[in-house]
């Protein structure tokens, strides 16, 4: 569904992405992990067309994304820090996006109800806490039943209850055969979610493996230990 070839991105002299080649398929749930500043968010924003790559191509559903925008219809995006117009209320934001998307699909309002956002749709975005803003972001990402979900640090800032609801939702969507791309630092949370792991460092992909492979090759039982194992091995070499 998403093909990335020879992707480079420079911010001035700083090389943030350095020759990224990746392919993501339907039904996969991919964890994008790596230290701070390794280029995860830049990679995600490149897929969304918010960052324009210096070199290289990205295809979404067999279509080149440069100079196109229609493909974003298939993507639901939850940003790391959602930034919304201060003066608009939750209800207005959701209405506006609905208006712009004009989706014929049935809307998925499950999160809206489970996060009880519909009870506070009058509240202005300025007055919301960080966690509630994250809930709005999550609701918007899932609202239009997109085939591809891109979640940047989805559980950061959410309370345990909300983050459990979100995890359940992610698993449910994964079972529907959607492509899900998650970045996270909380490796323990990813264990029961992801099918593939990509580890990025300094703008490169260090490895791209299925969780099964990863656990087998390292002999560890969970993802965090397996990754620690690989990193240790790399350091020794």
Partner 1 sequence: MNRITKFIVLDILKNKIVLVYTLILSILSWSVFSLEDNATKGLLTLLNVILLTVPLVSVIFSTIYLYNSSEFIELLLSQPVKRARIWRSLFFGLSSSLLLSFLIGVGIPILVFAPSDVSMMMLLVGMFITTIFVAIAFLSSIVTRDKAKGIGISILLWLFFALLFDGIILFLLFQFSEYPIEKMMVGITALNPIDLARILILLHLDVSAMMGYTGAIFKDFFGTTVGEVVVFAILLLWIIVPFWTSLIKFKRKDL
Least separation in angstroms between CB 48 and partner 1: 5
Least separation in angstroms between CB 42 and partner 1: 9
Residue number with CB closer to partner 1 (151 or 226): 151
The answer for residues whose C-beta is within 8 angstroms of residue 163's C-beta and 6 or more apart is 154, 155, 189
Q: Which helix (H) or strand (E) holds 168?
A: helix 160-175
CA distance 15 to 36: 15
Least separation in angstroms between CB 52 and partner 1: 6
Least separation in angstroms between CB 139 and partner 1: 13
CA distance 47 to 165: 26
Residue number with CB closer to partner 1 (92 or 218): 92
Q: Is 106 exposed, middle or buried (0-12, 13-18, 19+ CB in 10 A)?
A: exposed
Residue number with CB closer to partner 1 (108 or 220): 108
Least separation in angstroms between CB 222 and partner 1: 32
Residue number with CB closer to partner 1 (34 or 49): 49
Site residues (CB under 8 A) for partner 1?
A: 11, 45, 48-52, 69-73, 75, 77, 79, 83-87, 93, 96-97, 99-101
Residue given tokens 């992405």 in the structure block: 17
Nearest to 40 by CA among 22, 56, 57, 54: 22
Residue number with CB closer to partner 1 (143 or 166): 143
Q: How many CB atoms within 10 Å of residue 95?
A: 13
């Amino acid at each position: 569904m998403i093909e990335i070839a020879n992707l480079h991105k420079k911010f001035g002299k700083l090389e943030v992405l350095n020759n990224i080649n990746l392919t993501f398929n339907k039904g996969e749930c991919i964890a994008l992990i790596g230290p701070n500043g390794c280029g995860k968010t830049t990679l995600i924003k490149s897929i969304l067309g918010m960052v324009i790559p210096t070199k290289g191509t990205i295809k979404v559903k067999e279509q080149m994304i440069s100079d196109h925008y229609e493909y974003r219809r298939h993507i639901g995006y939850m940003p790391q820090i959602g930034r919304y117009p201060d003066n608009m209320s939750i209800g207005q934001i959701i209405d506006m996006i609905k208006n712009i998307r004009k989706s014929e699909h049935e809307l998925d309002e499950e999160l809206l109800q489970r996060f009880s956002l519909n009870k506070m749709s009058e509240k202005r975005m300025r007055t919301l806490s960080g966690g509630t803003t994250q809930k709005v972001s999550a609701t918007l990402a899932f609202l239009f039943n997109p085939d591809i979900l891109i979640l940047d640090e989805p559980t950061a800032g959410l309370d345990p209850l909300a983050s459990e609801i979100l995890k359940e939702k992610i698993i449910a969507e994964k079972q529907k055969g959607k492509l899900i791309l998650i970045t996270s630092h909380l490796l323990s949370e990813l264990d029961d979610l992801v099918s593939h792991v990509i580890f990025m460092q300094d703008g490169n992909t260090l490895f791209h493996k299925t969780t099964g492979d990863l656990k087998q090759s390292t002999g560890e039982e969970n993802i965090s230990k397996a990754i620690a194992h690989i990193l240790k091995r790399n350091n020794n070499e």
